[in-house]
Structure 1
Amino acid sequence: MSDLVKCLVWDLDDTLWGGVLLEHDATAPHPEARRVLRRLDERGIVHAVASRSEAALATAHLDAHGLSEMFCSLQIGWGAKSAAVRRIAEELNIGLAAIAFVDNDPVERAEVAAALPEVRCYAAEELASLPDRPEFTPAVVTADARDRRKRYLAEQVRRHSASTFEGSDAEFLAGLGLVMTVRRAGAADLERAHELTVRTNQLNTTGRTFDSDELRELSASPRHEVLIASLRDRFGDYGVIGLAVSEFRGDDAALLLLLMSCRVMSRGVGGALLAHLIDRARARGQRAVAEFVATPANRVMLVTLRFAGFAMLEQRGERKLLAHDGSTAVPNTGHVLMRAPDAPLPPGDLVSGLLRQAARVPERTALVSGDRRLSYRELDSGTAELAARLVGAGVRPGDVVLCQLSQGADTLVAMLAALRAGAAWWLVDPGRTEAQVQRLLDQIHCTAVVYDASEPPAWLPRASCDVHDAATTRSGLTVSRLPRAASAPHGGPGDVVQHEEPTSDPVAGDRAVEPARRDHSAPVPATPAGDSTARDAVRPVPAPVSGAWPPPSSAPAYVITTSGSTGTPKAVVVSRANLAAMIAGRNYPYTDGELVTLSTCPLTADASMLFAPWALTVGGTVVVPTHRELPDAAAVAALAERTRVSHLIATPSYYRLLLDALITPSVVALAGEQVPTALAVRHHERLPNTLLLNEYGPTEATVTCVWHTVEAGAAPEIVPIGTAMPGNSALVLGPDLRPGRDGELYLGGDQIAQGYAGDPGRTATRFVADPAAGEPGARMYRTGDLARRNDSGDLEFLGRRDGQVQIRGARVELPAVEAVLESHPEVAHAVALMIETADQPSQLVAYIVPVAPGAPPTRRALARHCAEHLAAMEIPARFVRIGTLPIAAAGKLDEAALRAAADGPALPSPARDGWTARELELGALWSAALEHDDFDRADSFFEVGGNSHSVVHLHLRLEQRWPGALRVGQLFDLHTLAAQAEALEEALAAEPAAGAANSTQAFEL
């Protein structure tokens, strides 16, 4: 019999309250009964009701006195009390030995005791003393215990949802959104861990119990590991529900104890935890073994182990030892998302994934750039060699390595080498000015810099360059350790982002990782990439470079600067766990041996990493356009076809330029900008068998974290960005931070970056607490973007201003204008922008890339085409011809270049042969008011770009030339040039007669 009571079952009449409901003399609940309810609830002991009465009447009485929420199960009727107690035990999944029953009637108590001898029974007179009894007094009350009732009530909502769910049990589980977090048990977790060992009997592999002191010793032991698992789903938080105690025995990681709370027995999460433990053991080069000791209640755990792939090794009495071969996948775990923030090698870890592929397919092509092709074997050895030189230059886990290189094969090698050295890469384009780099170095402390020997950075101190011997440099790459003066006045990896949190060493437990402090006060000689002495000092190795390896998952993986389109560029710090979660969350279809990825975004932009890191962990080929190829869309399209790219990532602006030349991709992901509906339609027409994805995510959420499959045949007004990827969350919150249909988009989960380097204030403002996560320290990123959920539950990105602009008080959607223009047969691409000047009201300007550059459409033809599909205020005031869409450095549309070209070459204008002198004179005024010449004498002023503002400007010019000839109201009625010229002639002709009449009248008077 269990020592502790988990559930107290109450009778109602003459127990919880005085009197009998059916006799109409029931009183309010006894004050002492209320006190007992509250005190036991605070200790984690839940309550239920087993009573003879009318259910509706009893429930109404409980509601009237505010007690309904105190009971996790109500069994009210006319059957035996013992049957009601048994149903409660089954509903709450609590063993009968952990249930107590209180009733005023000795006959009822005797009936329960006879039928259920495990249940402890108490008289109503003993009620007040129950909180003082040892069976109702747990040694420690944990936070999980205090929330136990709420979790049972949430389970009731789950069960109701399951009972009304029309699909299969597996489909219901898949839709729960189960997320399990596994981490090392800290000091604050030990009491809950002890509580689990005491309270859990059925889902317990050995029946062992550990007190808090024993668990504390095991946690501190290098030969042991104590892990706790918490669980949540879309209905709420289950709290800590699992415990695993392992012992490291040479090549074996032995499970001394594995247990799961009975509350999650029907969730199928035991296999998911076992799969994670198997992966952890394999990552350490160990075999997972498990002890099992049979008890009267735990046979289900033996079934769980065998179902997970554990085979019997030996048996001694009741003790069995089972082992897993490490290669068999644990079935039926896909419905649980596993999060393990302190795992030494996360499932998506880029370095370990690269090494696995180097061992599996060493001769397969890993990287193509320019005229260089590197196999996985060559990429492995090349990155290991450069990583060794970085270590020789003083780089240690948690440091930052600045890579100032033009895009090419060496760039990716340098990035991976920094990661293999345990450091973070920071990629800077050589085109950055010295002042720009120095401003960023004021925020980011860098230990070393990697650069091309032919392009030494201008900002690098000369003392670090003078000793460089170019003759010994084979690859052209140079590693130079930075003196302190060249970088931020800080030291150590903690300076990357200024929100200090203790980091956990996955090998040493929860002991803080103390970065090695080094003297940066004096310049340090450069270490050329090919220097033989460096090779002798630090021998290249094919595995991660030794030192403080592996770095904690909270250590930075890379630092990336935002474009600064909304202000000063910010340096975002992304952790190794963030990067691993991004890789692990990718689930793109591919065929092994045929996966070839290409990004049209430069490596300095995080969108370039949407496919590449994932591809390197599964054996794909990464194609990197060189810095010369990248600006040339035609060259990139040719490269994609030449290398038979299967997976392409591009911004919508760049994809417009590529689409007609593509044949091979099986998957296209668009990101970085809103996807126009017209572009999606055109994609499906051009590449009907190519999967089209729309992905969304700011740099602060590690590349992308929300995605949507754009289906053929759909032409929504706004192409959705979809739903959060596994391990992430996306909330639309109003100003009061309450979820709604429309509002600001907040992102949470595994991919939320650490923050901004050297800017704790901005970090605190944008990275805010995530109360919905149910985990201490969980954060979400406030994007500043507006979004809404459509009727299908998908998110729609509305931009910073709902994706719309104001034109003369009306809201106009720029994508709709662009879509109409691109539907014109003579227009290849179109972009619409609002142009504002100091002396002119805002104008809608359309930039046109003609299908035939030598024969562009006329402005009049485009305006009339727009007039057929758009409202008058949506017709662009100006049309500017451009040769191609300008693409900025980050691969996005270069709006600054377009705005600078707003006065570019006009579209062809109609000839003015046959115009009268007055029409030519008036036409000059029209041209000045409209800012173009593309109109004929029979065109309406308002159909060629005129509006109420430009009419006023036209009238002012008419008044300057012919004062009083035409009223402004006439210009709205006489809206063609011919009509206005005729009215002007009549007005001017009438002026002499009017003058004469006025003179005669004056004489007569």
Structure 2
Amino acid sequence: MTDHQLDFNSPATQQFFLHDALLAWASRTPDAPAVIESPAAGLLETTTFAELEALSNFYARQLEALGLEIGARVVLEADATAHSIAMFLGCSKAGLTFVPVSPAIPSVRLRMVLSSTRPALHVRAEEIAAVPRIDIDYPDGTGIVRFGPTSGFSVDSAPEPGVRHRRAHCTTDAAYIIFTSGTTGKPKGVVMSHRAVTSFYHGMFSHDLAQPTDRIASTPPLHFDFALLNIGLALGSGAAIVPIPQRLVRWPRHFLRVLAETEATQVSGVPSIWRPVLRHEPDRVAALPRLRAILYCGEEFPVPELRRLRELRAGLRIVNCYGSTESMACSFYEVPDPLPRHVAHIPIGAAPPGAELLLADENGAIIDGTGTRGELLLRTPALFTGYWADPEGTRAALVADPLAPESGAQLLRTGDLAYRGEDGALYLCGRTDAQVQINGNRVELAEVEHRLLEFPAVTTAVVVPDETGTGDAALAAFVILASGATADPVGLRDFCTATLPEYMVPSRISIVDSLPITGNGKVDRGLLSAGAGTEPTGSSRT
């Protein structure tokens, strides 16, 4: 443990509520920056730890004055800012469960979230509330609040008063509910308790990922759990969080301008954010004044792009964060520097102290050897409580401990396939739900992607089921080439044919300038399957 870290084994620092874990440094370094924002070029707004705590206390008092039942849901529609961070900390202090949603959330999806959670409040950031949602029918009793630096805490519609049955909130209460995409077509609400979230933070701090002097740029939107990971990493380490608006993340020059002006030392985000930067603004990456580390999550980072980043920033620390919303994350792996030439894939690392990753075969038996693929199971105290209003889905995601089924302990079925390498590390190799059938043959899309990435000119490859053809099962591939490199779809197909069986070779290969992304910053595979959302520069269908 380094000198700057809180001693989580000390009784004085056994913080179990979300707000305790994120505001512990307010008493130690009250004047240190906690949130640094860049609302416009050349303008910085800094909120200290003392100011963030005071603001969260203000919001907590306003929420408590409404007389809401402990555990009531508060839908929080906002971008990541000092005020929205203070608001969800205020919810935590008031014993309320916050449900973050994107300001860009379609009304149809928002109605689903509101109908499912039956919130006591819909809280909207003032800049978003300026455009009222007139097509939303709220559940009976739901109040509407605007908040922000100008509005303070403005109640537009008071929530319906009710009887309070509870007097104190517990660490097992839900801290938040994150809604993700569900296989049923409806959003799936992942419920995380205070105890689970703070257990995760405790394990994360053991990796010594941040120092109090750091400024951690966070690129995911607030409704993505990776944003909460970043906020926890920064504030829990006494560092500053630098939330970057989504409108700027998508534009390399603006994105890099914020990193430079805020003197960001670390950037956390999905790998996709670096692709346009490396393609269009590599010199500006090299010129960043203080950048020393990158934390990525959500997707595999193409090795050629990792190597390129290291070329531009010698000594850059790169950490692969692996996990799912049901546990926020569960492992961190430091990418070697230098990265050996033979490395084609980056392992995911081991779970932190107090947690464990296991491999299980199709029958649920534990796999101990190397080279055998199985599903990753996670044993952790940072496990979600369940899916909101979905007991069947919860039962499907949890499995009895295969080594001690009599104990009643449950492990998370991650849905990720992996194998243990000869080096003892775990390597992802697909999803249990990403297998497709091509002419009766099982195909792992990741295997085809890996083959395309072996082509010297290819920096990014995404393979999806092709839904644009005649109905016959086939694959479509979308690749991005290195700047200045050349290749053609026919040559790429021949390259695949050299090592892959015919049924695994994509019938359609498109060379594109960019890939569509979802609201969470991941590649939108659904759009690609339908043949939409790309800017092709060349394609071939056979």
Distance (whole Å) between structure 1 residues aligned to residue 298 and residue 398 of structure 2: 21
The reply to whether residue 666 of structure 1 matches residue 292 of structure 2 is yes
Instruction: Provide the residue aligned with 2:254 in structure 1.
Output: 635
Distance (whole Å) between structure 2 residues aligned to residue 718 and residue 802 of structure 1: 21
Cα 1:820–1:559 shift into 2, 3 Å:
same
The reply to whether residue 357 of structure 1 matches residue 25 of structure 2 is yes
User: What does 1:273-672 correspond to in 2, within 5 Å?
Assistant: 279-280=10-11, 282=12, 345-346=15-16, 349-371=17-39, 372-451=45-124, 452=126, 453-458=129-134, 459=136, 461=138, 474-475=150-151, 478-479=154-155, 483=159, 516=165, 548=168, 551-564=169-182, 567-586=185-204, 587-589=206-208, 592-659=211-278, 660=282, 661-662=284-285, 663=288, 664-672=290-298
Shift of 1:829: 4.4
Q: Decide whether the 8 Å contact of 1:450 with 1:477 is kept in 2.
A: no
- Where 1:738 maps in the other structure, the secondary structure is coil
Shift of 1:709: 2.3
1:693 to 304, 309, 319: 319
Distance (whole Å) between structure 1 residues aligned to residue 460 and residue 144 of structure 2: 52
Distance (whole Å) between structure 1 residues aligned to residue 102 and residue 146 of structure 2: 24
Distance (whole Å) between structure 2 residues aligned to residue 556 and residue 367 of structure 1: 25
User: What does 1:851-1000 correspond to in 2, within 5 Å?
Assistant: 857=486, 859=488, 862-863=491-492, 866=495, 873=502, 876-901=506-531, 907=537, 946=542
Q: Which has the higher helix share?
A: 1
Cα 1:680–1:880 shift into 2, 3 Å:
same
Corresponding letter in the other structure for 2:269: A
Q: Decide whether the 8 Å contact of 2:74 with 2:122 is kept in 1.
A: yes
Q: Decide whether the 8 Å contact of 2:123 with 2:145 is kept in 1.
A: no
Q: Decide whether the 8 Å contact of 2:18 with 2:175 is kept in 1.
A: no
Q: Decide whether the 8 Å contact of 1:879 with 1:907 is kept in 2.
A: no
Distance (whole Å) between structure 2 residues aligned to residue 736 and residue 840 of structure 1: 33
Shift of 1:770: 2.9
Task: Return the structure number with greater relative CO, CA threshold 8 A, min gap 6.
Answer: 2
Cα 1:869–1:820 shift into 2, 3 Å:
farther
Shift of 1:887: 1.9
The reply to whether residue 739 of structure 1 matches residue 366 of structure 2 is yes
The reply to whether residue 791 of structure 1 matches residue 422 of structure 2 is yes
Instruction: Provide the residue aligned with 1:310 in structure 2.
Output: none
Distance (whole Å) between structure 1 residues aligned to residue 150 and residue 473 of structure 2: 57
Shift of 1:687: 3.4
Distance (whole Å) between structure 2 residues aligned to residue 756 and residue 624 of structure 1: 28
Instruction: Provide the residue aligned with 1:820 in structure 2.
Output: 454
Q: How many residue pairs end up in the alignment?
A: 509
Cα deviation digits, residues 933-979 of structure 1 (max 9, x gap): xxxxxxxxxxxx64xxxxxxxxxxxxxxxxxxxxxxxxxxxxxxxxx
Cα 1:438–1:861 shift into 2, 3 Å:
closer
Cα 1:775–1:725 shift into 2, 3 Å:
farther
Cα deviation digits, residues 673-724 of structure 1 (max 9, x gap): 23333334334434341222222211112x1102322223334443221211
Q: Which of structures 1 and 2 has the bigger CA Rg?
A: 1
- Where 1:732 maps in the other structure, the secondary structure is strand
Cα deviation digits, residues 731-765 of structure 1 (max 9, x gap): 21123322114322211211111001112222223
- Where 2:116 maps in the other structure, the secondary structure is coil
2:355 to 723, 728, 738: 728
Shift of 1:613: 0.9
Cα 1:381–1:718 shift into 2, 3 Å:
same
Instruction: Provide the residue aligned with 2:335 in structure 1.
Output: 710
Gaps of 5+ in 1: 1-274, 284-342, 486-490, 493-514, 518-546, 909-930, 933-944, 947-1005
Distance (whole Å) between structure 2 residues aligned to residue 754 and residue 370 of structure 1: 36
- Where 2:235 maps in the other structure, the secondary structure is helix
Cα deviation digits, residues 89-148 of structure 1 (max 9, x gap): xxxxxxxxxxxxxxxxxxxxxxxxxxxxxxxxxxxxxxxxxxxxxxxxxxxxxxxxxxxx
- Where 2:27 maps in the other structure, the secondary structure is helix
Cα 1:756–1:779 shift into 2, 3 Å:
same
Distance (whole Å) between structure 2 residues aligned to residue 468 and residue 830 of structure 1: 44
- Where 1:721 maps in the other structure, the secondary structure is coil
Cα deviation digits, residues 168-205 of structure 1 (max 9, x gap): xxxxxxxxxxxxxxxxxxxxxxxxxxxxxxxxxxxxxx
The reply to whether residue 757 of structure 1 matches residue 388 of structure 2 is yes
- Where 1:438 maps in the other structure, the secondary structure is helix
Q: TM-score, normalised by structure 1?
A: 0.46
Corresponding letter in the other structure for 1:859: D
Distance (whole Å) between structure 2 residues aligned to residue 865 and residue 634 of structure 1: 37
Using the aligned pairs only, state the percent identity: 26
Cα 1:677–1:394 shift into 2, 3 Å:
same
- Where 1:609 maps in the other structure, the secondary structure is helix
Distance (whole Å) between structure 2 residues aligned to residue 467 and residue 879 of structure 1: 49
Cα 1:444–1:789 shift into 2, 3 Å:
same
- Where 2:466 maps in the other structure, the secondary structure is strand
Gaps of 5+ in 2: 1-6, 40-44
Instruction: Provide the residue aligned with 1:296 in structure 2.
Output: none
Corresponding letter in the other structure for 1:705: C
Instruction: Provide the residue aligned with 1:679 in structure 2.
Output: 305
Cα 1:442–1:767 shift into 2, 3 Å:
farther
